């Protein structure tokens, strides 16, 4: 493989300036690698903030009655935890991975619109500062849940809701610009010979995700704009007094919200499709079906939103349609899961940290998919709705789904990015503690929900105490084990890892990015490689 | 300067045949900005369309609700009696009435009868009592909702106090009428229907001439 390393040591690119020094480098950068790093760092910071909020929630639920915080603050914590984890952690992390990897994977020197790229990142710190500032205001911070249903967020919303609305606008603008950039990059900047069906699956899934973002983020923007108008300009989109309808809010929100959950998971599917073949030392099984299945999931995502609102009085015909459409999503998802299993089958597998997270994802995401199928059944959804069963379901698909894929991606590409390997031993500790913590936190929630414990309530009946205490203990194990991850990332970034990474890094790794030296030079593929 | 990279592209069979050729000239990159701009503009049009689509969902929703009779939307406007309609004496459906006050509105608002038995096709008149306890003049409107959802579009009102806003002087009391019938086409499974009204303060959405159109209202 050594003959495959493109030579970047000959200083033939000396005419290109390097990065600026200090703070300005990060503020003014248009380099896709720098912006990827910014996104990922931002996401990591947000992850610990939102995780801390989750721990406050779990402490409050350690025992019935008041433990630590009053109910008003509890509501603010659940709301902020959800909002930050979705918009501040998973989405920026995925965007960061796209920035780092998409140009390197398709043989492009950078993103197509580098200045836009800078702007789309730098909107985020401001958007989130605005959201956090609501915690310091005299009225409560947003306390209506991350789904901000009207009229809780319109008629009854606290004053800070307006800050929330504008921060959503900014996050939306940021996501739209990032998605725009990614689509243009993938369409226009593929290296000669990189045909559509040679593109890595990660690039494919991000392309589909970007289209989903372009389609639904404007709907979210419209939705919060309607809220703003209802709150201040005497319209009544969601106010029955003026002829509007609060149920309409749920339709508009979930028309955005359901594609949004695929936005959160599809790039993760791409990551897993890169990681598993590497450590199974086999070609990905069913590449074409992977691509079509991802596209299918993206399309079906627009036809299932009413399954979030079966109990709002939707007619039976609509309930049936959305129930079957939802279950249909299991088909392409199943294709993907079986393809990954087939890739592992009879491979020579080794269990390095990225592979562990990928396998953990494979098992636990599938579990989350099964509880999703239970929720998709309209008749049983009447029982499970708004209970802890729902909380368990979406944490299985978001924590052991999206988050695990992001962690797997970091462990997989970190040596390539930084040029330093990390301690495999610590990585394994991180994995096992995460798996134990995560299952201890969310598995009991299934049973709590089935037994009737409602979500978003800071108190509960006495009989739920034991399981809630298990959840809280698990949450602390999960939360604190992430410090290992932080340690690994920081040491690797600042050159204190366990050693220098080779350009190949992983024996079985394939793809254009592995042909570059480690650490990756500041400018890569300035002359496009030709793939024949 | 050809460099062979074994298996750089992992997704195609026979990977030993694949090369990455490091080309020395890349002058063909120059016109790419035009290409980027074009695609960006196309995508931006899509984004703007989707923003508009979000607002289009509002009338679309109203239309679907009205035609399908979902969510009380069909109950908010007058129906006419089909002259060919006959009373189906063989069936009796019990119609319950409930009321809710929105947002702690200081009104007394209740039906004069809790429930009434109706044959499909038969027109009934019931009254709802409302009295203004707010200590000032008020404009209110009742918003109807009917359950079960699949029966909603068969309960039809020819006249109703909920069609218009209602003006109340300070301390005013009134009985407000609703004429309704149940369409005989209703499913045989439906034995009971609940008609619920929520009374809203619509002072912020006042329409002109409210006082004039309150047909059949008995001021007490």
Over residues A356-384, the mean pLDDT reads 95
Phi/psi region, residue B122 (left: phi>0; alpha: psi -120 to 50; beta: rest), is: beta
Distance between CA atoms of B139 and B149, rounded to whole angstroms? 29
Phi first, then psi: give them for residue B122, nearest 5 degrees: -95, 135
Q: Which residues of A touch B65 (CB under 8 A)?
A: 245
Long-range Cβ pairs for the range A194-197 (8 Å, 24+): A194/A106, A194/A107, A194/A531, A197/A287, A197/A288, A197/A291, A197/B11
Beta bridge partners of residue B138, listed in sequence order? B168
Q: Cβ of B45 under 8 Å from any chain A Cβ?
A: no
Q: What is the pLDDT of residues A443-463, one digit of tens each?
A: 999 999 999 999 999 999 999
What is the distance, to the nearest Å, from the Cα of residue A203 to the centroid of all Cα atoms in its chain? Answer: 16
Beta bridge partners of residue B144, listed in sequence order? B197
Is the pLDDT at A8 greater than 70, yes or no?
no
Phi first, then psi: give them for residue A7, nearest 5 degrees: -85, 115
Helix (H) or strand (E) holding B126: strand B124-132
Q: Which residues of B touch A112 (CB under 8 A)?
A: 32, 36
Q: Among all residues of A, which ones are annotated catalytic?
A: 81, 110, 146, 174-175, 258, 260, 262, 273, 307-308, 333, 336, 455
Q: What is the pLDDT of residues A182-199, one digit of tens each?
A: 999 999 999 998 999 999
Instruction: Name residue, tokens 């793939």.
Output: A531
Q: Cβ of B46 under 8 Å from any chain A Cβ?
A: yes
Dihedral sign from CA coordinates of A57, A62, A65, A68? negative
- The pLDDT of residue A186 is 96
Is the pLDDT at A395 greater than 80, yes or no?
yes
Dihedral sign from CA coordinates of A50, A53, A55, A57? negative
Over residues A148-157, the mean pLDDT reads 92
Are the C-beta atoms of B8 and A510 separated by less than 8 Å? Answer: yes
Q: Cβ of B4 under 8 Å from any chain A Cβ?
A: yes
Q: Cβ of A65 under 8 Å from any chain B Cβ?
A: no
Which residue, among B2, B33, B54, B62, would best test binding to A if mutated, counting the most A CBs under 10 Å from its CB?
B54
ipTM of the complex: 0.90
Instruction: Name residue, tokens 């433990």.
Output: A67
- The pLDDT of residue B212 is 55
SS3 B101: strand
Nearest by CB to residue B54, choosing from A183, A252, A287, is A252
Cβ pair B10:A313 closer than 8 A:
no
Ranges of each domain in chain B: 74-219
Q: Which residues of B touch A238 (CB under 8 A)?
A: none
For residue A75, which of A160, A13, A8 has the smallest C-alpha distance? A160
Cβ pair A531:B143 closer than 8 A:
no
Over residues A350-366, the mean pLDDT reads 96
Is the pLDDT at A255 greater than 90, yes or no?
yes
How many residues are recorded in chain B? 220
Dihedral sign from CA coordinates of A71, A75, A76, A77? positive
SS3 A249: helix
Distance between CA atoms of A87 and A181, rounded to whole angstroms? 18
Domains in chain A, CATH or no CATH each: 29-515 (1.20.210.10)
| Lowest-confidence segment of A18-22, A129-133, A298-302, B6-10 by average pLDDT | B6-10
- The pLDDT of residue B13 is 40
Cβ pair B18:A531 closer than 8 A:
yes
Distance between CA atoms of A396 and B73, rounded to whole angstroms? 38
Q: Cβ of B9 under 8 Å from any chain A Cβ?
A: yes
Distance between CA atoms of A46 and A92, rounded to whole angstroms? 10
Q: Which residues of B touch A218 (CB under 8 A)?
A: 47-48, 50-51, 53-54
- Compute the nearest-CA separation of A465 from chain B (Å): 34
The token pair that represents A362 in the structure block:
């494979």
Q: Cβ of B16 under 8 Å from any chain A Cβ?
A: no
How far lies A514's CA from each of A99, A101, A205, B75, in Å?
16, 11, 20, 65
Cβ pair B32:A189 closer than 8 A:
yes
- The pLDDT of residue B76 is 67
SS3 A524: coil
Over residues A117-145, the mean pLDDT reads 95
How far lies A215's CA from each of A29, A168, A301, B109, in Å?
28, 16, 11, 45
How far lies A436's CA from each of A364, A430, A432, A475, A488, in Å?
12, 10, 6, 10, 19
The better pLDDT of the pair A68, A11 is held by A68
Is the pLDDT at A172 greater than 90, yes or no?
yes
- The pLDDT of residue B146 is 86
Q: Which residues of A touch B9 (CB under 8 A)?
A: 198, 510-512, 531
Q: HSE of A180 in the Cβ direction (CA atoms, 13 Å)?
A: 28
The token pair that represents A270 in the structure block:
């791409």
b/e for A237-265, b at 16 or more Cβ within 10 A?
A: bbbbbbebbbbbbbbbbbbbbbbbbbbbb
- The pLDDT of residue A19 is 76
Which residue, among A176, A241, A252, would best test binding to B if mutated, counting the most B CBs under 10 Å from its CB?
A241
Nearest by CB to residue B68, choosing from A226, A248, A315, is A315
The better pLDDT of the pair A236, A337 is held by A337
The token pair that represents A295 in the structure block:
């596209």
Q: Cβ of A214 under 8 Å from any chain B Cβ?
A: yes
The token pair that represents A131 in the structure block:
């959201």
Distance between CA atoms of A187 and B104, rounded to whole angstroms? 57
Are the C-beta atoms of A103 and A36 separated by less than 8 Å? Answer: no
Phi first, then psi: give them for residue B195, nearest 5 degrees: -110, 120
Instruction: Name residue, tokens 């809790």.
Output: B114
| Lowest-confidence segment of A18-32, A278-292, B2-16, B193-207 by average pLDDT | B2-16
Q: What is the CA radius of gyration of chain A?
A: 23
Percent of chain A with pLDDT over 70: 97
How far lies A392's CA from each of A48, A146, A232, A406, A447, in Å?
20, 16, 37, 20, 9
Which residue, among A218, A244, A507, would best test binding to B if mutated, counting the most B CBs under 10 Å from its CB?
A218
Over residues A207-228, the mean pLDDT reads 97
Nearest by CB to residue B10, choosing from A222, A511, A526, is A511
Q: What are the pLDDT tens digits along chain B (220 aa)?
A: 334 444 445 444 434 334 444 443 444 445 678 899 999 999 999 999 999 999 999 999 988 887 777 766 666 677 777 777 888 889 999 999 999 998 788 999 999 999 999 999 899 999 999 999 988 988 998 988 888 877 888 888 888 888 888 888 888 889 999 999 998 888 888 899 999 998 988 887 777 665 655 677 888 7
Cβ pair A529:B147 closer than 8 A:
no
Is the pLDDT at A136 greater than 70, yes or no?
yes
Nearest by CB to residue A198, choosing from B7, B9, B32, is B9
Are the C-beta atoms of A107 and A170 separated by less than 8 Å? Answer: no
For residue A122, which of A259, A250, A26 has the smallest C-alpha distance? A26
Distance between CA atoms of A284 and A344, rounded to whole angstroms? 9
Are the C-beta atoms of A131 and A164 separated by less than 8 Å? Answer: yes
Q: What is the CATH architecture assignment of B74-219? A: Sandwich (2.60)
Mean pLDDT of chain A: 93
Over residues A380-405, the mean pLDDT reads 96
Phi first, then psi: give them for residue B126, nearest 5 degrees: -130, 155
Cβ pair A287:B11 closer than 8 A:
yes
- The pLDDT of residue A346 is 93
pTM across the whole model:
0.88
**Residue A90's pLDDT band (boundaries 50, 70, 90)?**
very high
- Compute the nearest-CA separation of A46 from chain B (Å): 28
The token pair that represents B198 in the structure block:
């929520």
- The pLDDT of residue A234 is 84
For residue A54, which of A410, A409, A452, A399 has the smallest C-alpha distance? A399
């Amino acid at each position: 493989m050594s003959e495959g390393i493109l030579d970047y040591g000959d200083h033939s690119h000396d005419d290109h300036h390097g990065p600026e020094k200090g703070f300005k480098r990060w503020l003014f950068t248009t380099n896709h690698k720098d912006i990827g790093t910014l996104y990922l760092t931002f996401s990591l910071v947000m992850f610990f903030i939102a995780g801390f909020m989750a721990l406050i929630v779990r402490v409050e639920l350690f025992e019935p009655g008041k433990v630590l915080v009053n109910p008003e603050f509890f509501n603010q914590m659940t709301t902020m935890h959800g909002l930050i984890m979705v918009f501040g952690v998973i989405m920026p992390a995925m965007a960061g991975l796209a920035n780092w990897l998409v140009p390197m994977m398709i043989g492009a020197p950078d993103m197509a619109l580098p200045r836009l790229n800078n702007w789309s990142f730098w909107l985020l710190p401001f958007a989130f500062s605005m959201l956090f500032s609501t915690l310091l205001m005299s009225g409560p911070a947003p306390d209506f849940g991350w789904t901000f249903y009207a009229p809780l967020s319109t008629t009854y919303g606290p004053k800070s809701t307006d800050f929330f609305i504008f921060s959503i606008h900014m996050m939306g603008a940021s996501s739209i610009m990032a998605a725009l950039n990614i689509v243009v990059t993938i369409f226009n900047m593929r290296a000669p010979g990189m045909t559509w069906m040679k593109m890595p699956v990660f690039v494919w899934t991000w392309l589909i995700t970007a289209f989903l973002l372009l389609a639904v983020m404007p709907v979210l923007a419209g939705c919060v704009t309607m809220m703003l108008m209802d709150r201040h300009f005497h319209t009544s989109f969601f106010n029955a007094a003026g002829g509007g309808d609060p149920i309409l809010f749920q339709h508009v929100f979930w028309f955005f919200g359901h594609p949004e959950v695929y936005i959160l998971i599809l790039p993760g599917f791409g990551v897993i499709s890169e990681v598993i073949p590497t450590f199974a030392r086999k070609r990905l099984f069913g590449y074409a079906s992977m691509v079509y299945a991802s596209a299918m999931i993206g399309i079906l995502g627009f036809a299932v939103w009413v399954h979030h609102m079966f109990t709002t009085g939707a007619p039976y015909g609509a309930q049936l349609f959305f129930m079957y459409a939802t279950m249909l999503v299991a088909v392409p998802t199943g294709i993907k899961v079986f393809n990954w299993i087939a890739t592992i089958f009879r491979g020579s597998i080794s269990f390095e940290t990225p592979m562990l997270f990928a396998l953990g994802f494979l098992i636990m995401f599938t579990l989350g998919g099964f509880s999703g199928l239970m929720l998709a059944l309209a008749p049983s959804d009447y029982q499970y709705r708004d209970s802890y069963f729902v909380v368990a379901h979406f944490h299985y698909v978001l924590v052991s789904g999206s988050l695990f894929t992001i962690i797997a991606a970091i462990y997989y590409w970190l040596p390539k990015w930084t040029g330093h390997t990390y301690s495999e031993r610590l990585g394994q500790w991180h994995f096992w503690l995460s798996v134990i913590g995560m299952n201890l936190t969310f598995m009991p929630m299934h049973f709590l929900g089935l037994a009737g414990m409602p979500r978003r309530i800071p108190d509960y009946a006495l009989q739920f105490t034991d399981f809630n205490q298990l959840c809280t203990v698990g949450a602390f194990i999960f939360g604190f084990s992430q410090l290992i991850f932080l340690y690994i990332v920081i040491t690797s970034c600042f050159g204190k890892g366990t050693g220098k990474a080779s350009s190949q890094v992983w024996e079985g790794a394939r793809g254009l990015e592995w042909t570059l030296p480690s650490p990756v030079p500041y400018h890569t593929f300035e002359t496009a490689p030709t793939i024949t | 300067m050809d460099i062979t990279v074994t298996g750089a592209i992992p997704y195609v069979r026979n990977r030993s045949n694949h090369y990455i050729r490091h080309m020395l000239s890349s002058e063909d990159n120059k016109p790419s900005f035009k290409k980027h701009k074009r695609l960006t503009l196309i995508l931006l049009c899509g984004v703007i369309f989707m923003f508009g689509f979000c607002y289009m969902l509002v009338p679309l929703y109203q239309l679907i609700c009205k035609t399908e009779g979902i969510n009380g939307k069909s109950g908010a406007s007058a129906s006419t009696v089909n002259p060919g309609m006959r009373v189906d004496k063989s069936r009796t459906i019990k119609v319950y009435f409930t009321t809710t006050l929105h947002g702690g509105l200081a009104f007394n608002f209740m039906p004069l009868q809790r429930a009434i038995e109706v044959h499909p096709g038969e027109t009934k008149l019931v009254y709802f009592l409302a009295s203004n306890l707010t200590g000032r003049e008020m404009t209110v409107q009742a918003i109807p909702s009917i359950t079960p959802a699949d029966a909603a579009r068969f309960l039809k009102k020819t006249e109703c106090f909920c069609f218009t806003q209602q003006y109340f002087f300070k301390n005013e009391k009134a009985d407000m009428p609703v004429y309704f019938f149940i369409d005989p086409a209703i499913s045989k499974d439906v034995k009971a229907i609940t008609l619920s009204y929520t009374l809203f303060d619509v002072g912020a959405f006042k329409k002109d001439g409210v006082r004039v159109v309150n047909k059949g209202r008995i001021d007490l």
